[in-house]
Each structure stands twice: as C-alpha cells, then as structure tokens.
Structure 1
Amino acid sequence: MRSRGLASGIWTLLVAAAAGVCWAAAGPTEQRRRQIVRHLPESNKAHLEASRKRNTLVMQIIEESAHTEKNVAQKRDWNKFSRSDS
C-alpha cells in the first residue's frame, strides 16, 4: 500500500514537471513579453487617466449610495461613464 502512494506521488511530480516544461517552451520570449507590456492599456497614459477618472466616479457613486436610502443607480446616465472621452 505504501508503494502505491509513493508511485502515485512520483507520477504526480512527473506530470507536473512535464507541464512546467511545456509551459516554458510554449511561453513567449523575453522580447515578446516586452512587446506585450508595451501594448497593454495601462501603458497608454490617456487610457490610464480615463480609467482612473472612471474609477473615481464609480467610487463617489458607491459612497453616495452608502449614505442614502435612495436608488442612486436610477438617476445616473451610465452611458456617459462607459465612454472613454467623457
């Protein structure tokens, strides 16, 4: 019974090692990683600022709704917040 558990553990380690090798082989190179990071939305200053502004507005709405019994979601123009140019 003990050898069965040992064999199972060894197989588990072998499968995990094989998966790690496949992951490393199929993963992007360092140059590709840098290219991916350069094209992330957070690397664009205008997009980052729009996200921060939107997050600030959402937090203000959440704080307002925490201090009132009214449904603040009904009195907002939510389409205005979804556009990045606002």
Structure 2
Amino acid sequence: MEALKLELKEKIITLLNLEDVNVDEIQDTDALFGDGLGLDSIDALELIVMLDKDYGIKLLDPKEGKAIFQSINSMASYITEHRTK
C-alpha cells in the first residue's frame, strides 16, 4: 500500500504539472481539493482519466469520485479494492 501511495503522489505531481510540490510535501491524509493540495474540477477529470488508463477503473458516478479523491489514503484504498490492471 505504501508503494501505491508513493506512486499516486508522483503521478499526481507529474500529471497535473505541480512543479512547486514534491512527494514529501503531500501527506497521505491531506485533502486533495480545497484547502489541501488545492486541486480543482479540471484536475479531477485528469485523475479520473488516470484511474481508467493506469488501473482500469471507470468512474461513472461523480459522488463516488468525491469520496475517492478525498486524500491519497482514500485513492489508494479504492484502487486496491477495484483495480483491474
């Protein structure tokens, strides 16, 4: 699980071009949106595409996405339970 969390942090930084953020600055429990990492709805769409492409997870319900993208911990848990790749 720790390897997956590190992988997610690296992918988020690269995918979303967060040049001023490094992996050590993102805590597993930090909020990804709002006051935490400060991601927005466009970033959410990119994360949804990444889940599909990299892990074979298709998100169809926006409410589901809101719960999944709360933190690195919530993303890693969801991926562990639902990945097909």
Which of the pair has more CA radius of gyration? 1
> What TM-score results when the alignment is normalised by the length of structure 2?
0.24
Tell which has more relative contact order, 1 or 2 (C-alpha 8 A, sep 6+): 2
> What TM-score results when the alignment is normalised by the length of structure 1?
0.24
